[in-house]
Amino acid sequence: MVVEKRYAEDAIKFLLENEMLDDERRISREDKKVEIPVKGNIALPFPHSLKEQEYILYRGQDVPFKEIKKKAERIIGGKAELLPKKWEKFGDVLVIKFPGGFERKEEVAKIYADVLKCRTVLEDVGGIMGVKRKPLVKHIYGDKNAETIHVENKIKFMFDASKIMFSSGNVDERIRMAHAGNEGEVVVDMFAGIGYFSIPIAVYSKTEVYACEINDVAYNYLKKNIKLNNVEKNVTALYGDCRDVAPRNAADRVIMGYFKSKNFLPYAMEVLRGGKGIIHYHTTCPKSSFPEEPFSDVKKAALDYGKSVEMVFHKKVKSYAPGIIHGVIDVKVF
Ligand SMILES: C[S@@+](CC[C@H](N)C(=O)[O-])C[C@H]1O[C@@H](n2cnc3c(N)ncnc32)[C@H](O)[C@@H]1O
The ligand 1 atom at the shortest distance from the C-alpha of residue 193 is 27
Q: For residue range 76-134, list pLDDT tens digits in order.
A: 998 989 999 888 889 999 999 999 888 899 999 999 999 999 999 999 987 766 766 77
pLDDT given at position 282: 97
Backbone phi and psi for residue 254, each to the nearest 5 degrees, phi listed first:
-120, 130
**Residues 212 and 328 placed together within one structural domain of the fold:** yes
Residue 214 near ligand 1, beta carbon < 6 Å = yes
Helix residue spans in 171-313 (DSSP H) = 171-178, 198-205, 216-228, 242-245, 265-271, 292-304
Q: Which of 188, 214, 219, 318 to mutate to test the pocket of ligand 1 (most atoms within 8 A of CB)?
A: 214
User: How far is it, in rounded angstroms, from Cα 131 to Cα 148?
Assistant: 23
Residue 331 near ligand 1, beta carbon < 6 Å = no
**Could you tell me the distance, in angstroms and rounded to a whole number, from the CA of residue 1 to the centre of ligand 1?**
33
Residue 241 near ligand 1, beta carbon < 6 Å = yes
Domain assignment of residue 158, yes or no:
no
Domain assignment of residue 151, yes or no:
no
286 C-beta neighbours (distance < 10 Å), count: 11
Q: For residue range 53-74, list pLDDT tens digits in order.
A: 332 333 444 568 889 999 999 9
**Residues 99 and 200 placed together within one structural domain of the fold:** no
Residue 194 near ligand 1, beta carbon < 6 Å = no
- pLDDT-wise least confident of 28-37, 147-156, 159-168, 231-240: 28-37
Task: Tell me the pLDDT of the chain averaged across its residues.
Answer: 88
Domain assignment of residue 218, yes or no:
yes
The ligand 1 atom at the shortest distance from the C-alpha of residue 218 is 27
Residue 242 near ligand 1, beta carbon < 6 Å = yes
Burial of 126 (0-12, 13-18, 19+ CB in 10 A): exposed
**Residues 239 and 319 placed together within one structural domain of the fold:** yes
Kindly report the pTM of this predicted structure. Answer: 0.82
Residue 40 has pLDDT above 70, yes or no: no
User: How far is it, in rounded angstroms, from Cα 308 to Cα 333?
Assistant: 6
User: How far is it, in rounded angstroms, from Cα 281 to Cα 234?
Assistant: 22
The DSSP annotation for 103-149 comes to: --HHHHHHHHHHHTT-SEEEEEEEEEETTTTEEEEEEEEE-S--EEE
Domain assignment of residue 111, yes or no:
yes
Please report which helix (H) or strand (E) contains residue 318, including its range.
strand 309-321
Residue 193 near ligand 1, beta carbon < 6 Å = yes
Percentage with pLDDT > 70 across the chain: 89
**Residues 72 and 177 placed together within one structural domain of the fold:** no
Residue 133 near ligand 1, beta carbon < 6 Å = yes
Q: What is the CATH number of the domain that holds 121?
A: 3.30.300.110
**Residues 18 and 73 placed together within one structural domain of the fold:** no
**Could you tell me the distance, in angstroms and rounded to a whole number, from the CA of residue 258 to the centre of ligand 1?**
5
Domain assignment of residue 272, yes or no:
yes
Domain assignment of residue 89, yes or no:
yes
Ligand 1, atom 5: closest residue by C-alpha: 257
Q: For residue range 283-305, list pLDDT tens digits in order.
A: 999 999 999 999 999 999 999 99
| Maximum mean pLDDT: which of 17-26, 81-90, 261-270 | 261-270
Residue 253 region by backbone torsions, left for phi larger than 0, else alpha for psi between -120 and 50, else beta: beta
**Could you tell me the distance, in angstroms and rounded to a whole number, from the CA of residue 308 to the centre of ligand 1?**
27
Work out the angle between the directed axes of helices 198-205 and 216-228 (0-180°, nearest 10): 20
**Residues 188 and 285 placed together within one structural domain of the fold:** yes
Q: What are residue 238's DSSP bridge partners?
A: 212
pLDDT given at position 153: 85
195 three-state secondary structure: coil
Question: Residue 221 — pLDDT band, cuts 50, 70, 90?
Answer: very high
**Could you tell me the distance, in angstroms and rounded to a whole number, from the CA of residue 325 to the centre of ligand 1?**
18
Q: How many domains are contained in the chain?
A: 3
Residue 134 near ligand 1, beta carbon < 6 Å = no
Domain limit, last residue, from 57, 74, 103: 57
Write out the residue range of the structural domain in which residue 87 sits: 62-145
**Residues 131 and 201 placed together within one structural domain of the fold:** no
**Could you tell me the distance, in angstroms and rounded to a whole number, from the CA of residue 98 to the centre of ligand 1?**
27
Residue 267 near ligand 1, beta carbon < 6 Å = no
Domain assignment of residue 106, yes or no:
yes
Residue 157 near ligand 1, beta carbon < 6 Å = no
**Residues 300 and 189 placed together within one structural domain of the fold:** yes
Residue 129 near ligand 1, beta carbon < 6 Å = no
